């Protein structure tokens, strides 16, 4: 598969759906990628099975608050600086880029960087969705060392990080993203192709593109999405309240959706840390991390990222299963409800009423 100007809108839509409200609004990411693909040509999507075992995979993306990302644009050199930094550090050559998270703009951004570097993009990512924290990746569960990491900004500040563990990598990268104005580009959890085959969520670039294509080709995109993946509709209604602030390098807050039509009289509350974490109705949890909760525009089907939620939007909130690795003990320890401070255990969306 090649990602070109025709494929990009479908991929962007799919990334947005998989983003659980986070990973950054795809609008500016799509513009940046379109420009890169126009300038440097399309980007080949490679299967990890097709690459030599010992080649190096560079997971990458932006860290920060999505609210900032939609206004603070990159310089287009970040991908080059990340690769240079990583190759100098390791003395090895990057064979392919990979989105650290497929969700939101972070699923797209590595494509723009890959285009300018003349490198392919791996058909995989580190989450199968978006999560707020750097170590909330499948590579952490697989025991890949998060260090060395490389971090840069649009001014050309360039850092290499050897952190004592994944939590410290998160703290260091987060505090630097704040100092840089709310966003930094970074790579962590570098690995070989052989490692990546079992340490990543596979096939997610293809999945995102297929989801997006199904929706963009359809007259009724929400229904088309429900046909494409195993989906639960949480509520159809109107956004009646949004609290949101950028704090500690994250977007945090909550939104309330009041049901309309068949759902009239119902109220659903979404709690947010960059992504939609839990959906609660009358004190009952209707969906929870690591399953994916996404809010769609009821008419266009376009996902509304958490930083774009506002009063009056007509929306349909949906939830669907996360990648199976997040349902293991290791996955839940890293990204289950308790990892976000909730005092309840995970129940898969399929088992919730």
Which positions touch a copy of itself (CB under 8 A)? Answer: 155-164, 168, 171-172, 175-176, 178-179
- Which residue in the block uniquely carries the two structure tokens 């995102």? 208
157/198 with CB nearer a copy of itself: 157
CA 88 to chain centre: 27
End-to-end CA distance of the chain: 39
Of residues 122, 75, 72, the one with CA closest to residue 99: 122
68: number of Cβ within 10 Å? 20
Give the nearest distance from C-beta 168 to a copy of itself in angstroms. Answer: 5
- Residue 297 pairs with which residues in a beta bridge? 315
Give the nearest distance from C-beta 172 to a copy of itself in angstroms. Answer: 7
Give the nearest distance from C-beta 171 to a copy of itself in angstroms. Answer: 6
134/295 with CB nearer a copy of itself: 134
32/163 with CB nearer a copy of itself: 163
Give the nearest distance from C-beta 205 to a copy of itself in angstroms. Answer: 31
Which two structure tokens, joined as six digits, stand for 35?
A: 């420009």
88/217 with CB nearer a copy of itself: 88
Give the nearest distance from C-beta 294 to a copy of itself in angstroms. Answer: 32
144/163 with CB nearer a copy of itself: 163
Rounded CA Rg of the chain: 19
**Across the chain, which distance is largest between two alpha carbons, in Å?**
61
Give the nearest distance from C-beta 178 to a copy of itself in angstroms. Answer: 7
37/68 with CB nearer a copy of itself: 68
Asked if residues 206 and 99 have their Cβ atoms less than 8 Å apart, the reply is: no
Of residues 141, 140, 103, 142, the one with CA closest to residue 322: 103
163/257 with CB nearer a copy of itself: 163
Asked if residues 47 and 205 have their Cβ atoms less than 8 Å apart, the reply is: no
Query: What distance in Å separates the CA atoms of residue 209 and residue 180, rounded to the nearest whole number?
Result: 32
Phi-psi region of 11 (alpha: psi -120 to 50; beta: other; left: phi over 0): alpha
Give the nearest distance from C-beta 164 to a copy of itself in angstroms. Answer: 5
């Amino acid at each position: 598969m090649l990602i070109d100007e025709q494929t990009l809108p479908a991929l962007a839509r799919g990334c947005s759906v998989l983003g659980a409200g986070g990973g950054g609004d795809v609008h500016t990411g799509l513009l940046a990628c379109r420009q890169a693909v126009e300038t440097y040509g399309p980007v080949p999507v490679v299967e990890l099975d097709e690459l030599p075992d010992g080649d190096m995979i560079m997971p990458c993306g932006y860290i920060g608050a999505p609210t900032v990302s939609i206004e603070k644009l990159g310089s287009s050199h970040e991908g080059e600086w990340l690769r240079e930094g990583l190759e100098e550090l390791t003395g090895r050559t990057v064979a392919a880029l990979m989105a650290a998270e497929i969700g939101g703009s972070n699923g797209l951004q590595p494509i723009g960087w890959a285009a300018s570097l003349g490198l392919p993009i791996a058909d995989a990512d580190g989450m199968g969705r978006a999560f707020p924290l750097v170590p909330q990746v499948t590579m952490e569960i697989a025991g890949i060392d998060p260090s060395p990491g490389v971090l840069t900004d649009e001014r050309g500040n360039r850092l290499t990080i050897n952190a004592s563990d994944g939590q410290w990598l998160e703290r260091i990268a987060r505090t630097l993203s704040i100092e840089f104005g709310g966003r930094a580009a970074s790579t962590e959890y570098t690995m070989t192709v052989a490692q990546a085959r079992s340490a990543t969520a596979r096939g997610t670039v293809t999945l995102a593109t297929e989801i997006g294509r199904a929706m963009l080709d359809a007259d009724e995109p929400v229904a088309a999405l429900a046909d494409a993946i195993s989906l639960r509709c949480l509520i159809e209604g109107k956004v009646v309240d949004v609290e949101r602030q950028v704090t500690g390098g994250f977007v945090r807050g909550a939104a309330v959706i009041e049901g309309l039509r068949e759902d009239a009289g119902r109220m659903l509350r979404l709690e947010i840390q960059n992504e939609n974490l839990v959906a609660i109705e009358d004190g009952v949890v209707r969906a929870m991390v690591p399953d994916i909760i996404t809010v769609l525009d009821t008419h266009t089907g376009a996902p509304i990222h958490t930083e774009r939620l506002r009063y009056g939007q007509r929306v349909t909130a949906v939830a669907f299963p996360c990648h199976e690795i997040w349902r293991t003990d290791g996955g839940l320890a890293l990204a289950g409800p308790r990892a976000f401070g909730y005092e309840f255990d995970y129940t898969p969306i399929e088992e919730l009423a």
